[in-house]
Amino acid sequence: MRERPETEAGAHAVVRSAAGAIRTAVAGEAAPPTVVPPTVVLDGSRLRQARDLLRSGDPEATAALAHLTARAERQLALGPWSVTDKPQIPPSGDRHDYLSQAPYWWPSRPRTAADPDGLPYERRDGLRNPEVDLITDHRGRGAMFDAVQTLALAWYHTGRADYAEHAAHLLRTWFLAPATRMNPHLAHAQAIPGSTDGRPIGIIDFSQQFTSILDAIALLGAGAPGWTEADRAGMHAWCADFTRWLGGDFAAEEAATANNHGTFFDMQLAALQLAVGQPDSARRTVLAARAARIDPQIAADGSLPEELARSRSWHYSTFCLVALTRLAHIGRQVGVDLWSYRNPAGAGILDAVRYLLPAATGRAPWPHPELHFQRFAASDVVRAAAEAGDPAAAEAVPELQAPPGGDLWPLRPSPEQLDPISR
């Protein structure tokens, strides 16, 4: 069954906390916005419905608000982050360029005075090298993405001005302020010491979560205090430049990748195209994903062979399905139904989710290699499939494990990666 507070008193405390947040928002200087935000993955109408549930005292939505505002309160004390914070200078010589190191690559020999670098580096799949955190861009990027998404969503549901103002400050610092902004490219992401200054595969540093930033910007654009027209125009320009860069030669290799990398690339590109006013291009990207992603990735039994080959097969199966289900949500915005599409093997996204259900519900162990199984990782994709009309997923929902920090699905009904091993 889904995890609940350990005691009845704990459950009542969660509800009281959320009820207080609602009363504070209603009594405060600004009420939550009334417009439907032009989000790209999240369904703006569903967000409005979630607000109605909160106002009616729905216990699931109320508990989710308590978890959300608790996270937002912590985020108020954090940041800002900037690519200019890192001590290293990227190979370009420009500190404004994003820089990260490949997480699964390690020195092949012990470092010594005669061999201080341990070159060449070798790949150890699923084992994260802690030295990657010496370059602060990757960790800062993840922290900033999480904070902006949490704060924007908390503002939307409560009307608390300080949440919106801090989210705006974080976005301006990372993307817009001349002294601290990031250049709109990822040419130096996931570099390997002694081998390469950056790899197309590093685009996933952004693609795995940047769509949440696009949705956060849309939420703030619904009238958030502290978010100006200049901010909106600046982020539109940054995203347009980044979209153009993703269409260039460097990114083409990542776009051609067969596993989750290619799917996340399409998801990010379609969301960006929609956000910068290119709905026809977004539609073409989603349509092409049927043959490019669903056809080769999903086997007849619903498994994802590219992900099952990994040492962390459960994580990467749920990870790939986050990309596929979020892409399906984008598809709805541009008139493409990916949920009902079946590949030549007769399988589709819903079949891939069903393949996870025995392990996601705890009915059976996961029968593939996994270094660190976390059952809750599948919860959001199962919820998405249930809402897409799959009866097996709907039946499984009461047996799902809530993620650490609480289930936010009632307030942000789109799948998130719940076990981010990259940071």
Q: Which of 69, 99, 57 is nearest to 82 (CA)?
A: 99
Residue type (1 letter), 28: G
Q: Specify the pLDDT at position 32.
A: 73
Residue 93, Cβ density class (10 Å: 0-12 exposed, 13-18 middle, ≥19 buried) = exposed
Angle at 336 between CA 333 and CA 339, to 5 degrees: 105
Spatial CB neighbours of 14, under 8 Å, sequence gap ≥ 6: 5, 63, 66, 67
For residue range 222-267, what is the model confidence (pLDDT) as tens digits?
Answer: 999 999 999 999 999 999 999 999 999 999 999 999 999 999 999 9
Please report the pLDDT score of residue 30 as a whole number. 64
Residue pointed to by tokens 């709109």? 184
pLDDT at 33: 74
C-alpha to C-alpha distance for 267 and 203, rounded to whole angstroms: 12
DSSP per position, 241-282: HHHHHHTSHHHHHHHT-SSHHHHHHHHHHHHHHHHTT-HHHH
Q: What are phi and psi of 239, to 5 degrees?
A: -65, -35
Predicted pLDDT at 13: 43
pLDDT digits 0-9 by tens, 339-351: 999 999 999 999 9
The dihedral over CA atoms of 289, 48, 211, 3, expressed in degrees to the nearest 10, equals -90
Using the 8-state DSSP alphabet, how is residue 122 labeled? E
Task: Give CB contacts under 8 A, 24+ apart, made by 114-118.
Answer: 117/193, 117/194
- Tokens found for residue 402: 């809530």
Low-confidence ranges of the chain (pLDDT < 70): 1-31, 421-423
67 in Cβ contact with 405 (< 8 Å): yes
User: What pLDDT does residue 6 have?
Assistant: 36
pLDDT of residue 393: 98
Q: Are 4 and 57 in contact (CB under 8 A)?
A: no
pTM: 0.91
